[in-house]
Amino acid sequence: MFTNNSTLNVHIRKHTGEKPLKCEVCEKMFIHHCNLKRHMRQHTGEKPFRCEICEKLFSQNGFLKMHMRMHTGEKPFKSEVCDKMFIKNSGLKVHKKIHTGEKLLKCEICEKMFTENSGLKMHMRKHTGEKPFRCEICEKMFSQNSGLKMHMRIHTGEKPFKCEVCDKMFIKNSGLKVHKRIHTGEKPFKCEICEKMFSENGGLKLHMRIHTGEKPFKCEVCEKMFTKNSGLKVHKRIHAGEKNIQL
């Protein structure tokens, strides 16, 4: 039932396909005035919906709600087969194909399987080295648009992930996860030789050079080798000092 004729008329348009409202900029047609108003924000750049946590702005309330799941960790879409949870319904739809085996596509180089052609196409860039997405500020190239978006936070200073303990902000969720271990004391990475524990995998890899003797950083002046880049930087001052004395 409908409360008035105008509401009924708008509803009828869904059946008839009538779209009487036109965008004056791109001439796209709409059923309802609110849809046109929402669409106009693409042209005006208006973003009236703000995230209270990281202050990122959105043109639609639906986009804000979707974004909030990054902060809350909410994943409302569940696979009925394996119970895996997803932030977006689109992610769940793609995942379902894993169980049904629908349209599995294989990379001819490494034989990795994909559910969609877009995923395979994106993956192929790892083999070809293609990087079609460029940062307009520093011209760094990326194989994926998501990588470019993440990189742009370096220039904009955007840090959407916040530590609930000390309020420190991070560009990536992975950075926040590693940081949290400072507060929890968690050290999940263990050296198999001496059993020393580390909070991040990078720390373990660096430590392993003590056992392997690997020294990947070389001084271009005297060819002395170093385990860490920081050690090489300190060493370079010796040569810089020699030049100053000669001057």
Q: How far apart are CA 92 and CA 77, in angstroms?
A: 6
Report how far residue 242's alpha carbon sits from residue 116's, in angstroms, rounded to the nearest whole number: 60
Give tens-digit pLDDT for 201-233: 889 999 999 999 999 999 999 999 999 999 999
> What's 10's domain CATH number?
3.30.160.60
Boundaries of domain holding 33: 5-44
pTM for this predicted structure? 0.47
Q: Is residue 231 included in any domain, yes or no?
A: no
Is the residue at 191 inside a domain?
no
* Residue 75 maps to a domain: no
Helices (H), 117-224: 117-128, 145-156, 173-184, 201-212
Inside any domain, residue 194: no
- Residue 37 covered by a domain: yes
Any domain includes 189: no
pLDDT at 183 (0 to 100): 93
**Structural domain count of the chain:** 1
Q: Is residue 241 in some structural domain? A: no
Residue 131 lies in a domain: no
- Residue 215 backbone class (left: φ over 0; alpha: ψ -120 to 50; beta: rest): beta
Bigger pLDDT: 124 vs 47: 124
Q: Is 156 helix (H, G, I), strand (E, B) or coil?
A: helix
